[in-house]
């Protein structure tokens, strides 16, 4: 058995943050596939009792420890490995600031937007999608501006703030109906920089469950 197990599925950008971190630090890890689409597994009482009371993916299992919330998982792995770790109080606070902004406003809107657009049955209400799209455009522009003056979110080197923010950004443009790198040139070069890190893999190659049956 591998040192780390990650509850995840290929379509989850929230889980991708943790899977990517595990791969980039060269951890000994294996995925545990969660059937989100057919069985709604995270919503089952068994999952909430046995895996995560919050009913969410990802969950990282490390020995007796079970961690959820990708930001917590990223911090834990950075502390243990010493890699992608914000150094000093200022960097730690700055990383946390971007991770919370990301969870709530960047990928926190992008994930549900994509879900309502291509996975939900019936698809999301156009008014809801339009609201989310407005927020997404605004928040991606904030990230793009941040990256205009520095190679990575905190500065010269990549940290867990970057690995949080990439969550949904490598999924194909057709899943969103708009092309994020084409519309945000600083995000585009930053995504290429992260892609060049040893151990980088696309979410569909890193986590199980792609393609979905019938698609």
Evaluate whether 13 touches 136 at the Cβ level (below 8 Å): no
Report if residue 75 touches ligand GSH, rule: CB under 6 A. no
Q: Does 55 bind ligand GSH (CB under 6 A)?
A: yes
39 or 145, CB closer to ligand GSH? Answer: 39
Cβ at position 182, least distance to ligand GSH in Å: 24
Count residues near ligand GSH (CB under 6 A): 12
CB 185, min distance to ligand GSH, A: 27
Taking CB under 6 A as the rule, does residue 111 contact ligand GSH?
Answer: yes
Among 4, 14, 29, 190, binds ligand GSH (CB under 6 A): 14
CA-CA-CA-CA torsion for 52, 30, 23, 203, nearest 10 degrees?
Answer: -70
With CB under 6 A as the contact rule, the residue among 56, 132, 163, 170 that binds ligand GSH is: 56
Q: Does 99 bind ligand GSH (CB under 6 A)?
A: no
Position 12 contacts ligand GSH (CB under 6 A): yes
Among 20, 70, 110, 190, binds ligand GSH (CB under 6 A): 70
Closest CA to 75 of 159, 191, 166, 152: 159
Residue 193: CB minimum distance to ligand GSH, A = 22
Residues 6+ apart with CB under 8 A from 34: 7, 8, 9, 41, 42, 47, 57
CA 205, CA 107: separation in Å to the nearest integer? 20
Region for residue 155 given its phi and psi (left: phi exceeds 0; alpha: psi -120 to 50; beta: otherwise): left
Q: Are 58 and 71 in contact (CB under 8 A)?
A: no
Residue from the set 4, 7, 19, 42 that interacts with ligand GSH by CB under 6 A = 42
Q: Which of residues 153-192 bind ligand GSH (CB under 6 A)?
A: none
The contact set with ligand GSH (CB under 6 A) reads 12, 14, 42-43, 55-58, 69-70, 103, 111
């Amino acid at each position: 058995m591998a040192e780390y197990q990650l509850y995840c599925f290929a379509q989850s950008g929230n889980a991708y943050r943790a899977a990517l971190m595990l791969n980039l630090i060269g951890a000994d890890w294996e995925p545990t596939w969660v059937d989100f689409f057919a069985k709604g597994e995270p919503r089952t009482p068994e999952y909430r009792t046995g895996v995560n009371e919050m009913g969410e993916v990802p969950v990282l299992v490390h020995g007796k420890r079970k961690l959820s919330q990708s930001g917590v998982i990223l911090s834990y792995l950075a502390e243990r490995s010493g890699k992608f770790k914000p150094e000093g109080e200022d960097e730690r606070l700055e990383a946390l600031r971007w991770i919370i902004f990301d969870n709530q406003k960047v990928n926190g809107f992008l994930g549900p937007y994509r879900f309502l657009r291509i996975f939900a049955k019936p698809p999301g209400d156009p008014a809801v999608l339009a609201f989310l799209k407005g927020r997404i455009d605004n928040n991606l522009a904030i990230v793009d501006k941040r990256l205009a003056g520095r190679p990575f979110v905190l500065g010269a080197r990549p940290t867990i703030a970057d690995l949080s923010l990439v969550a949904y950004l490598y999924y194909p443009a057709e899943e969103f109906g708009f092309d994020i790198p084409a519309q945000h040139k600083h995000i585009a070069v930053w995504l290429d920089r992260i892609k060049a890190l040893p151990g980088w893999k696309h979410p569909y190659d890193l986590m199980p469950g792609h393609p979905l049956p019938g698609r």
